[in-house]
Structure 1
Amino acid sequence: MTTRTAIVTGAARGIGAATARRLAADGNAVAVLDRLEDQARETAEAIVADGGRAIAVGVDVTDESAVATAVERVAAELGAPTVLVNNAGILRDNLLFKMSVDDWDSVMDVHLRGAFLVTRAVQAHMVEARWGRIVNLSSISALGNRGQVNYAAAKAGIQGFTKSLAIELGKFGITANAVAPGFIVTDMTKQTAERMGISFEEFLDGVASQTPVPRAGQPDDIAHAVSFFCSEGAGYVSGQVLYVAGGPRA
């Protein structure tokens, strides 16, 4: 199997960490990018302990120069990156009339500006290699969700971004796809329960009762889907959005 170098953003914990571990298990060298550099290092060290190759890079994906420097470092230390997972994201949930401009801008910057900057920096290596896999994390919230006008708009934007990448980059052997998770058990979703003033167990029970597959999703559920899109065998799948959400909404 050809050894590839993968970059996963927002990979210090949750879905990003699970994805980084899965891509390493698939045989890729993995760069774990995150603002939380200490936690990113823990993810990278776990991969190395399991016999893989990985480095941790602390970076703010909204900072153009920092992104360029990070990608250059990855290329120098692990090899030219030809697999990219844009996972970095934040929540700033609120109802529209309570939402601040900063709440809106912060979410747009991390999800959309971040995905744009990292993809632009990495695509040059993919074009040179005439091979690449880009997977962007969208969300079921792209279909609309109360209290998330910023997040829903950003995640819908990710889908348009993905489809446009597929059109532009396909001739270079580069595919672009999106994975749209439903409810996934992470630190971020635990914070949502706290904001709602209910226990996380109650929150999970409510999610399960409304999901055709009656449970909450796990980070590994998403990592498995990302792994498929990044595989050699997925070379004729591009511009797609895969909802990993336990079934359609009722």
Structure 2
Amino acid sequence: MATKSNPQPVIPGSTVLITGAARGMGELYARRAAREGARAIALWDMDAERAEALAAELSRGAGKRGGPGPDVRAFIVDVSDREAVRDAAERTRTELGEPDIVVNNAGIVRGALFWEHDQEHDIELTMRINALAPMWISREFLPAMIADRSRPKRILNIASAAGTLANPRMSVYASSKWAMIGWAESLRLELAREGHEHMAVTTFCPSFISTGMFAGARGPLLTPIMKPEYAVRAAWTGMRKGTPLVLRPWTVKLAMIARGILPTRAWDVVADKVFHVYSSMDKFTGRG
């Protein structure tokens, strides 16, 4: 029986759902879940070939301490489509059961001046994938997660440092991540106030990560481009512990503090001329 001194483990025996799971950080989360003893893993992605190949590999591989691999299945889902999310949720329940851990990892970025953004393929699509999809997905599974107190439940949201500070050429992306953070923090407080102690919501706010998604972007002062493995380890550890906010690197929190203390115009000067935050996206190209 789990106690405060010997809490029930979060990952071993769990069912894990990961969006954007076929590549990059999503793939690393899936590998970590398999390595740490998850019972089943649902890989949600648009890339059928990569998702199915990863599912086959992880199912064949040895699980925790050399045991059998988990039941890993690929679900081809466009998370920008609410009906597709609903259908995939039902298929996931049917094939693997209700998830114990939901990792809202899928995301896109469009770097441009706001008035250069296409309304449908940039603005609306970014908001659907980055902000609305995590809400739709979590809403599908939360009732069962709340009701089942037999083991710890977790929601891990992959946000961004862009959701904590404004930045030129990131207006749409930043707004989607601001929305995610505000929703996730409110959800966390609601769960706590309603006494659902077996549940925890963690939001990860990293600066740039070298997945190719932010190709061409330059890290601000004292803010190196992070390796995906480091970022995943930080987010995953925070999720297991139930840490509300995980900020990486440390300069993300420093910038938040400075922005909160300084007058807006003074912060603009510091962010632009000292930290070079405001020029970090000037040469952004993206994955292509």
Confirm or deny a common fold (TM above 0.5).
Answer: yes
Displacement of 1:33 in angstroms is 0.5
Q: Please state how far the C-alpha of 1:246 moved relative to its aligned partner.
A: 5.7
Quote the residue 2:153 is aligned against: 132
Residue correspondence of structure 1 range 150-165 to structure 2 within 5 A: 150-165=172-187
Range moving further from structure 2, 166-175 or 144-153: 166-175
What are the Cα deviations for residues 182-205 of structure 1, in whole angstroms up to 9, with x where unaligned?
111113223xx2xxxxxxxxx6xx
Report how far residue 226 of structure 1 moved.
Answer: 2.8
Contact 1:74 1:80 (8 Å CA) reproduced? yes
Aligned pairs, number = 229
- 1:94 — aligned with what? 112
CA-CA distance at 1:80 after TM superposition: 1.8
TM-score when scaled to structure 1? 0.84
Q: CA contact under 8 A between 1:62 and 1:117: conserved in structure 2?
A: no
**Equivalent in the alignment of 1:220:** 229
Q: Distance in 1 between matches of 2:101 and 2:233?
A: 15
1:198 corresponds to: none
Equivalent in 226, 234, 239 of residue 230 of structure 1? 239
In the alignment, what sits opposite 2:247?
243
> Is the deviation greater in 133-142 or in 72-81?
72-81
Matched, 1:146 2:146: no
Equivalent position to 2:26, from 5, 13, 16 = 16
Between the aligned partners of 1:116 and 1:22, the Cα distance in structure 2 is: 24
CA distance in 2, matches of 1:139, 1:71: 25
RMSD: 2.0
Alpha-carbon contact 2:114-2:169 (below 8 Å) kept? yes
Q: 1:21-36 to 2 correspondence within 5 Å?
A: 21-28=31-38, 29-36=40-47
Q: Deviations over 1:80-125 (max 9, x none)?
A: 2010010111112211232232221111111111111110111122
**3-state DSSP of counterpart to 1:84:** strand
> Within 1, Cα distance between the matches of 2:129 and 2:213?
15
Taking the aligned partners of 1:61 and 1:30, their CA distance within structure 2 comes to 17
Q: Give structure 2 stretches of 5+ with no counterpart.
A: 1-8, 63-68, 256-274, 276-288
Displacement of 1:27: 1.4
Residue equivalent to 2:204? 179
Partner of 1:243, secondary structure, is: strand
Identity %: 30
| 1:137 CA displacement | 0.8
Identify if the C-alpha distance between structure 1 residues 134 and 210 changes in structure 2 by more than 3 Å, giving closer, same or farther.
same
SS at match of 2:112: coil
TM-score by length of 2: 0.73
Query: 1:182–1:246: 8 Å Cα contact kept in structure 2?
Result: no
Question: How far, CA to CA, are the matches of 1:160 and 1:129 in structure 2?
Answer: 26
Deviates more, 1:48-57 or 1:118-127: 48-57
| Structure with greater proportional helix content | 1
CA contact (8 A) 2:159 2:205 kept: yes
Which residue pairs with 1:196 in the alignment? Answer: none
* Equivalent of 1:39 in 47, 50, 53: 50
Residue pair 1:23, 1:227 contacting (<8 A) in 2 also: no
Q: Is the 8 A contact 1:133 1:176 kept in 2?
A: yes
Map 1:90-129 → 2, pairs under 5 A: 90-102=108-120, 103-129=122-148
Shift of 1:230: 3.4
Runs of 4+ more than 4 Å apart: none
RCO higher in structure (CA 8 A, sep ≥6): 1
Hey, what's the Cα distance between the residues in 2 that align with 1:241 and 1:230? 9
Shift of 1:69: 2.2
